[in-house]
Amino acid sequence: MNPLPFTLKEFEKWLRGNGYLKTFWLKPVESITARETEKGAIIKISWKVRSKLRTAALAASTTTQAALKLLREAGEEGGTVKLILTPEEAEEPENAWQKSILYYWQLGKLRLLDPNPAVKVEAHEEWNEELEKEMKKIQESSWGFYKPPKPGLDVALLAKLRDKAVGLAYLNKHTWNIDYGVHVAREYWRRRIGTTLLHAVSQYVASHGGAYFTVVRWLRSPKATAADKRALAFYKANSPTARLAVYRLR
């Protein structure tokens, strides 16, 4: 069975739209072909990496063993990047060397925690140098470095507490993915500011005709760091409709 909460066409569009994130499984896409089977789905992708084409095969199924079997049956050549996608709680494959988590929230099934009523969220589709300084300060406090939003693609959702910028999320207006995750300045953690941003994301998506939103967490290794565990615990506390793991195999 296919664990994806998307239709295959929706997932193809989502993969294409998030290729600029450039993780081990999200890269600029040249072509995609996908087919569904009784065991799940097999998705073949051609990426452009450093001006060269690279091929990948992603097998999606409800169990690790079924996904591995599906990948073997696809008969990929040695140079192909081999990926499997399973529910997060499924067994981790022994030969995994990279891991990512994909969380998906369906608007009609949201069970988010209560927001912080003192926090106000501003949506910015354009930003100036002063606003970017505020965004940079939040991200550097949250995870140590800064990724700017993409003009024309992201809407920057800025959380403010008593007129002070304390939280940030970039929402991709084409894929409804929260690019680079939800960030809160460290001194304001555990005040439901991140949850308030998730509410703002859901409201923006609903007001623009969307039906879901997602976030991707790339782990530096299959074993999550303390920072990974904190981030994943936050998202899971807000009850994603679907929780998926993506592995790159050796």
What is the 3 state secondary structure string of the chain?
Answer: CCCCCCCHHHHHHHHHHCHHHCCCCCCCEEEEEEEECCCCEEEEEEEEECCEEEEEEEEECCCHHHHHHHHHHHCCCCCCEEEEEEECCCCCCCCEEEEEEEEEEEHHHCCCCCCCCCEEEEEECCCCHHHHHHHHHHHHHHHCCCCCCCCCCEEEEEEEECCEEEEEEEEECCCCEEEEEEEECHHHCCCCHHHHHHHHHHHHHHHCCCCEEEEEEEECCCCCCHHHHHHHHHHHHCCCCEEEEEEEEC
Do residues 114 and 235 share a domain? Answer: yes
Which tens digit of pLDDT belongs to each residue from 60-71? 999 999 999 999
Q: Is position 141 within any domain?
A: yes
Is the pLDDT at 78 greater than 60, yes or no?
A: no
Q: Is position 1 within any domain?
A: no
Q: Is position 247 within any domain?
A: no
Domain that holds residue 54: 8-91
Residue 98: its pLDDT value, please? 95
Residue 77: its pLDDT value, please? 61
Do residues 25 and 132 share a domain? Answer: no
Percent share of the chain, pLDDT over 70: 99
Q: Is position 249 within any domain?
A: no
Residue 50 confidence class, pLDDT cut points 50, 70, 90: confident
Q: What is the mean pLDDT of residues 33-58?
A: 92
Residue 76: its pLDDT value, please? 64
Please give the structure tokens belonging to residue 123: 């949506």
Q: Is position 2 within any domain?
A: no
- Give the number of domains in the chain: 2
Q: What angle do CA 196, 130, 203 make, to 5 degrees?
A: 25
Q: Is position 193 within any domain?
A: yes
Q: Is position 246 within any domain?
A: no
Do residues 233 and 157 share a domain? Answer: yes
Is the pLDDT at 170 greater than 90, yes or no?
A: yes
Do residues 70 and 18 share a domain? Answer: yes
239 touches 112 (CB < 8 A): yes
Do residues 144 and 221 share a domain? Answer: yes
From 34, 62, 91, the end of a domain falls on 91
Please tell me the pTM assigned to this model: 0.96
Which tens digit of pLDDT belongs to each residue from 81-136? 999 999 999 999 999 999 999 999 999 999 999 999 999 999 999 999 999 999 99
Do residues 12 and 45 share a domain? Answer: yes
